[in-house]
Amino acid sequence: MAAPKILMQRALDRPGESHVLEAYEAGGGYRAIRKALGMSPDALIDELKKSGLRGRGGAGFPTGTKWSFIPRDSEKPRYLLCNSDESEPGTFKDRWLLENDPHAVLEGMMIAAVAIGSHLMFNYFRGEFSYPLERWRAAVEEAYRKGYLGKGIFGSDYDLETVTHYGAGAYIAGEETGMLESLEGKKALPRNKPPFPAVEGLFRSPTVINNTETLATVPWIIEHGADAYVQYGTEKSRGTKLWSCSGPIARPGVYELEMGHDLMEFLEGDLGGLMEGIGLKGVIPGGSSVPVLTLEECRGAKLDYEGLRERGSLVGSGGFMVIGDNVSAVDCLLNLAHFYAHESCGQCTPCREGCGWIEQLLHRILAGNGTQTDVETILRLSDNMVGKTICALADAMAWPAVAFIKKYPQEFAALCPEPVDMQSLAAAIGKADHILPRAS
Amino acid sequence: MTSTFSMSDDAVREIDTVIQRYPDKQAAMLPVLWIVQGEKGWLSPEAMVWVGDRLGCSAAAVQAVVRFYTMFDEAPVGRWKLQVCRTLSCELMGARAVIDRIRDKLGIEPGETTPDGEFTLQEVECLASCGTGPMLQCNLKFYEHLTPDRIDALLDELRGRTPDPHDVRPVIFERPDPGTYLAMFPRSGRVEAESL
């Protein structure tokens, strides 16, 4: 049986008005939270664990397990934080949700708050999201007016307040501990773990941070049950996922797919293939931080956690970026290196220096002044970045760097004025290859 | 040292309300800076001292935050702040051609403001409009599916009106046809595999 559109159906049914409370409730909205208020926190967490839902922000951590880390005996307040700082290049599905279905996000936050015993929740928007913020604020106001937020929500004895927060332009504020610092009014410098946010998060209190899409999925799971959710997707990748699709394709946009969907079928079907006159160079399937796939690697690839890992890439945030054969791989990598060099917070030397050096080396290569040593230095730097820093931003630079060089080595070599020994370059690539994601 | 810096009564009231929402005063830092920048247009050293006093932290702590986040301005900017996305999805769709057209039309480089104070041009990182690129953020409003020709019309239109901070609804033009799109790539020809 084909999977329902768990996240997009309401917007498809009532385009242009699905963001309003009346439309949300007409589509079955706010039933799940009423049900959740009659369930124990343990039962809610168990249901999420059974559903197999994994975080949709990038890391793919099991949501129910994350909730279960919140200590039950803590005297401190507990906080629920929705991560709407969507900044991963190629990703715009949270923006879509906040604009078209803000009440689903809000209801998911409510359920998560009840499950972890939180009475104050936050939604952190990136500073540029003025329009989603407007829609969100209207939704929150509607909910307060109906008694869905505030004292004794839905006639229960559960009090729940929400604060809408917004950033001011910083990719790293989307990293969960960077977000905690940012929300506390500081530079968004990621924190060393442990302590994990579940133990010591916002204002040093137990905190759960979930991505917007993850939370928007929660009401469906609670209303229909985990047993219904696990009918869709694959064993390790349950349910459905949003994919933000961009690049020179016929029909870019946000799509909801059952996990395990065939990549090429999606590209040639829903997305309508590439624009006329352009061939496929590669696809970055999960946002700019994940390794690029060549046309050959795309063939037969499945869009789910294990399927993409098997091809050496990741689901990430689901930012599906299609690269045409009218641009050079070196240009693409330079574009990303500039991004990561700009967004590195600067705390950790391997990341701060590594991202900057990679960008400079690429500038040199593109200017026609590069050498084989320069290309190999990028590989060596990347090898020195992964796993050696507080957060994953360094990995997010190193993966695309090694992947682009590994998959399009001739394009790098062709820009070097002196001949490149492809065999020794291949050996250098082989040395750095171990940093790339692979099937576990 | 006394400062002559002050904010309007409305803004002060709003700031006091915002501070109360958080379990900790300093957490109101970003929203308070937004309110101050909204009223003054930019964040002067005096403004940062004032914010520090309100939040019980040093002006240095405030300045560290202001410098960390790209949307805060430490110097006056133009009436219209054009922030063009330069990251990969937009570049793949012709962001460079869009930036070049703005540069040519206004005679300024990214990071600069026109002498008449009308426009500031900045290149920024991914704004989550990848499926509708190239795009730019003009003050708080997104303009999507841009082409060089649409830039000409947009700049003319902006010159003739006053910014409305409450108007944040995105303007999404019709997607350009493949021909228009391909014409935005004058500098990078097709990369022929056999030539490599």
Question: Structural domain boundaries of chain A?
Answer: 9-229, 240-324, 329-435
For residues B83-96, average pLDDT? 96
Q: How confident is the model at residue B187 (pLDDT cuts 50, 70, 90)?
A: very low
Which residues between 113 and 152 in chain A have a beta carbon less than 8 angstroms from any beta carbon of chain B? Answer: 120, 126-131, 133-134
Does the structure show a pLDDT above 60 at B189? no
A411, pLDDT greater than 50: yes
Q: Return the H-helix or E-strand segment holding A152.
A: none
Mean pLDDT of B80-102: 96
Task: Tell me whether A343 touches chain B (CB under 8 Å).
Answer: yes
Is there a domain that residue B128 lies in? yes
Q: Which residues pair with B29 in a beta bridge?
A: none
B85 and B140 share one domain: yes
Contact check, Cβ <8 Å, B185/A328:
no
B34, part of any domain: yes
Q: Are residues B93 and B167 in the same domain?
A: yes
Specify the pLDDT at position B135: 98
- Does B16 share its domain with B61? yes
Q: Is residue B89 part of a domain?
A: yes
Q: Which of 3.90.230.10, 3.50.50.60, 1.10.3720.10, 3.10.20.600 would CATH assign to domain A240-324? A: 3.10.20.600
What would the two tokens of residue A191 be?
Answer: 């924190």
What span, in angstroms and rounded, lies between the C-alpha atoms of A214 and A196?
19
pLDDT at A106: 98
- For A326, residues 6+ apart whose C-beta sits below 8 A from its C-beta are A248, A278, B182, B185, B188, B189, B190, B191
Per-residue pLDDT, B2: 58
Q: CB distance A168–B71 less than 8 Å?
A: yes
Do B86 and B177 reside in the same domain of the chain? yes
Tens digits of residue pLDDT in B52-76: 999 999 999 999 999 999 999 999 9
- Residues B140 and B56 placed together within one structural domain of the fold: no
The pLDDT tens digits of the residues spanning B151-172 come to: 999 999 999 899 999 999 999 9
Nearest CA-CA distance, residue A340 and chain B, Å: 10
Contact A177, A193 (CB under 8 A): yes
Kindly tell me if the per-residue pLDDT of A1 is higher than 70.
Answer: no
pLDDT average, residue stretch A251-263: 98
Cβ atoms A397, A336 nearer than 8 A = yes
Calculate the alpha carbon distances from A427 to A38, A376, A430 in Å. 61, 10, 5
pLDDT for residue A312 is more than 70:
yes
How far B8 CA lies from chain A's nearest CA (Å)? Answer: 22
Omega before B134 within 30 of 0, i.e. cis: yes
User: How far apart are alpha carbons A372 and A418 in whole angstroms?
Assistant: 8
DSSP state of A147: T
Res. B1: pLDDT tops 90 = no
Q: Kindly report, residue by residue over A131-146, the tens digit of the pLDDT.
A: 999 999 999 999 999 9
The complex scores an ipTM of 0.95
B99 and B144 inside one domain: yes
- Strand A240-246 and strand A319-324: pairing? parallel
One domain for residues B119 and B46? no
Strand order in the sheet with B80-85: B119-124, B80-85, B136-138, B141-144, B171-172
What is residue A2's predicted lDDT score, i.e. its pLDDT?
A: 83
Task: Evaluate the CA torsion angle A115, A87, A325, B101 in order and state its sign.
Answer: positive
Amino acid at A397: M
B61 within a domain of the structure (yes/no): yes
In sequence order, which residues have a C-beta less than 8 Å from that of residue A371 and are 6 or more positions away? A416, A418
Does residue B194 sit within a domain?
Answer: no
- Six-digit token pair at A128? 């540029």
What lies within 8 Å, CB to CB, of A40 at 6+ separation is none
Which residues 6+ apart lie within 8 Å of A235 measured at CB? none
CATH of the domain at B41: 1.10.10.1590
Instruction: Confirm if A308 and A301 have CB atoms less than 8 A apart.
Output: yes
- Are A280 and B92 within 8 A, CB to CB? no
Domain that holds residue B48: 9-68
Give a yes or no: residue B4 inside a domain. no
Closest partner residue to A332 (CB to CB) among B57, B68, B88 is B88
d(CA A75, CA A323): 52
The pLDDT score that the predictor gives to residue B192 is: 40
Nearest to A212 by CA among A318, A292, A130: A318
CATH for B161: 3.40.30.10
Report residue A439's pLDDT band, with 50, 70 and 90 as the boundaries.
confident
pLDDT at A317 over 80: yes
Q: Are A395 and A386 within 8 A, CB to CB?
A: yes
- Cα(A117)–Cα(A46) distance, rounded to whole angstroms? 15
pLDDT at position A91 is 98
Residues B128 and B41 in one domain: no
CA dihedral defined by B179, B181, B184, B188, rounded to 10 degrees? Answer: -90
Cβ distance of A169 and B71 shorter than 8 Å: yes
B111 falls within a domain:
yes
Reported as a single tens digit per residue, the pLDDT across A90-113 is 999 999 999 999 999 999 999 999
Identify whether residues B178 and B84 lie together within a single domain: yes
Q: What per-residue confidence (pLDDT) applies to B116?
A: 96
Identify whether residues B85 and B178 lie together within a single domain: yes
**Span A11-25, pLDDT tens digits:** 999 999 999 999 999
Rounded Cα distance, A161 and A126, in Å: 21
B28 and chain A: CB distance < 8 Å anywhere?
A: yes
| Pairing verdict, β A261-262 and A302-303 | antiparallel
B137 by Cβ neighbours in 10 Å (0-12 / 13-18 / 19+) ranks as buried
Q: Which long-range contacts (CB under 8 A, 24 or more apart) does A58-64 make?
A: A58/A88, A58/A211, A58/A286, A58/A287, A58/A289, A58/A316, A58/A317, A59/A392, A60/A305, A60/A314, A60/A315, A63/A210, A63/A214, A63/A218
Residues A171-206: pLDDT tens digits? Answer: 999 999 999 999 999 999 999 999 999 999 999 999
Q: Which residues, including other chains, have CB under 8 Å from residue A374's CB and lie 6 or more apart? A: A361, A364, A365, A416
The per-type count for chain A, helices as H runs and strands as E runs, is 20, 11
User: What does DSSP say about strands A293-294 and A280-284: parallel, antiparallel, or unpaired?
Assistant: antiparallel
**A291 close to A437: Cβ distance less than 8 angstroms:** yes
A329-435 to CATH, choices 3.30.70.260, 1.20.1440.230, 1.10.8.50, 3.40.50.1820: 1.20.1440.230
Are both B37 and B113 inside the same structural domain?
A: no
End-to-end CA distance of chain B: 66
Tell me whether A372 touches chain B (CB under 8 Å): no
Residue B50 sits in the same domain as residue B139: no
pLDDT tens readout for residues A219-233? 999 999 999 999 999
In a domain, B171, yes or no: yes
DSSP letter string over A93-146?
Answer: HHHHHHHH-HHHHHHHHHHHHHHHT-SEEEEEE-TT-HHHHHHHHHHHHHHHHT
CATH of domain A9-229: 3.40.50.11540
Q: Which of A374-388, B151-165, B176-190 has the lowest mean pLDDT?
A: B176-190
Which distant-in-sequence residues (6+ apart) come within 8 Å of B170 by Cβ?
Answer: A131, B129, B141, B142, B143, B144
Q: Which residues of A touch B36 (CB under 8 A)?
A: none
Instruction: Convert the pLDDT of each residue in A68-82 to its tens digit.
Output: 999 988 899 999 999
Cβ separation of B182 and A278 shorter than 8 Å?
yes
Boundary (domain end) residue, out of B68, B94, B112? B68
For residues B84 and B99, the answer to whether their CB atoms sit within 8 Å is yes
| Single residue among B18, B38, B68 that ends a domain in this structure | B68
Give the Cα separation of A322 and A329 in Å (integer).
12
- Residue pair B59/B44 in contact by the 8 Å Cβ criterion: no
More confident of the two residues A74 and A167: A167
Q: Are A375 and A381 in contact (CB under 8 A)?
A: no
Nearest by CB to residue A252, choosing from B31, B131, B142, is B131
